[in-house]
Structure 1
Amino acid sequence: MNRDYELIRSRRRTVSVEITKDLSILVRAPKWMPLYEIDRFVEKNRKWIDNHLTKAANKKAQREKIDPISKEELARLKLEAKYVIPGRVGHYADILGVSYGRITVRSQKTLWGSCSAKGNLSFNCLLMAVPEHIRDYVIVHELCHRLHMDHSPAFWDCVSKIIPDYKACRRWLRNEGALYIEALDKGQE
């Protein structure tokens, strides 16, 4: 059989399939599992694999279209964020009736925002490059942590009172937002 996947064996108990960024198929399987069973697993999951390969190829094509964010552009975004974000934080903090500590702006590769137990807020400067309603969602999300330091139903209820379409904002960040992070990575290479 012609295997179109890379196989990694380990002491794990289950088999898994992963589509990598470079569009290769990675199969992880237990050391003890016979190769014919692994092949059967891959064939059984072929539809899922093909579907995810197509999605990954589309994402890769989108990533390749992205212009990198230069160091100069990053500095401009940070400066702009230091002026814009505190005003939006103050606006929504008043609506929610919450207080907060310091506001920090950084260039981050994984987080859009965070809230510490002491109420200090940190925001990604890339928020200045995304649509305003997405930026506001991230700000409200972090401020709601001043009332609920978790992602409980009460927390999401708090968010939805200010941003009723918060689920669409979350989806946007997961899909489109990843492209902004990719642009940041490209610019720092």
Structure 2
Amino acid sequence: MEFKLIRTNRKTVAIQVNPDLSITVRAPRYASKREIDRIVEKNETWIYKHIEIIKKNKADYEALNVEKLTSEEIKTLAEQTLKLIPQRVEYFARQVGVDYGRITIRNQKTRWGSCSSKGNLNFNCLLMLAPAEILDYVVVHELCHRKEMNHSKAFWAEVEKVLPDYRESVKWLKEKGIVR
């Protein structure tokens, strides 16, 4: 099985199946190629399973014709998102206990949302095509970055305080939430 190997200062081997179906393996600098190959081989079932999930998700995504949205449809989605997101941000900001800056809606290709160090929030207009609980999860996720600008255990604890079942949303985004 072919894969791109990236050696870093990490302590464990991580395997990633990319949207283009290529495989990236991140490994400690000291790990031997033989050991890395053994770990990849041991995880072949997991790798092939995720390749199939990505293929299916791409097919489902194309069936939604998201790629074929006209600029007018995207503009309409952005307008709808701009009406809804500020209400959800205001509601959840009280629960998280944070303030925030400007809210911007974009048609992003790789992200559902982001939070700047200044507290400005960006959201993808395609969130309007996702279930409501997914939109709420993305809002809470970005607001929790106002407390923790990382994805540490402390960050996930903040998310869980507001959305105890947030893992379902994470799973949905991994399985069905391919952003173009």
* TM-score normalised by structure 1 residue count: 0.67
The alpha-carbon deviation at position 66 of structure 1 amounts to 2.8
Q: Within 5 A, what are the aligned runs for 1:45-84?
A: 48=45, 51=49, 54-67=52-65, 68-84=68-84
Alpha-carbon distance change, 174 to 51 in structure 1, aligned in 2, over 3 angstroms? closer
Q: Offset at 1:98?
A: 0.8
> What SS does the aligned partner of 1:105 have?
strand
Amino acid at match of 1:118: K
CA distance in 2, matches of 1:53, 1:126: 24
Partner of 1:87: 87
Q: 1:134 matched to which residue of 2? A: 134
Aligned partners of 2:18, 2:105: CA distance in 1, in Å?
33
Counterpart in the other structure of 1:185: none
1:66 partner letter: L
Equivalent residues, number: 157
Alpha-carbon distance between aligned partners in 1 of 2:19 and 2:93, rounded to the nearest angstrom: 41
Letter in 2 for 1:159: V
Q: Distance in 2 between matches of 1:66 and 1:134?
A: 17
List structure 1 runs of 4+ shifted beyond 6 angstroms: none
**1:59-116 residue CA offsets vs partner (Å, 9 max, x unmatched):** 4543442322221111011111111111110111112221111111111011111111
Pick closer, same or farther for the CA change 1:125–1:153 going to 2, 3 Å. same
For residue 161 of structure 2, give the secondary structure of its aligned residue in structure 1: helix
Q: Percent identity?
A: 45
How do 1:15-164 residues align onto structure 2 when only pairs under 5 Å count? Answer: 21=20, 48=45, 51=49, 54-67=52-65, 68-164=68-164
1:3-18 matches, cutoff 5 A: none
CA distance in 1: counterparts of 2:99 and 2:3, whole angstroms: 50
1:117/1:80 CA distance change after superposition, 3 Å = same
Q: Aligned with 1:114: secondary structure?
A: strand
TM-score normalised according to structure 2 size: 0.70
What CA distance in whole angstroms lies between the structure 2 residues aligned with 1:70 and 1:126? 13
Instruction: Check whether the contact 1:19–1:52 (CA below 8 A) recurs between aligned residues.
Output: no
- For structure 1, list consecutive stretches of 5 or more residues without a partner in the other structure: 27-40, 183-189
Distance 1:83 1:160, change over 3 A: same
After superposition, give the CA deviation of every residue in 1:124-171 in whole Å (9 maximum; x if it has no partner): 111111111100000001111111111111111110111111111011
Amino acid at match of 1:62: D
Q: Distance in 1 between matches of 2:81 and 2:103?
A: 10
Larger radius of gyration: 1
Q: Which residue of 2 aligns with 1:174?
A: 174
Which residue does 1:30 correspond to in 2? none
Q: 1:52, 1:88 → 2: CA distance?
A: 32
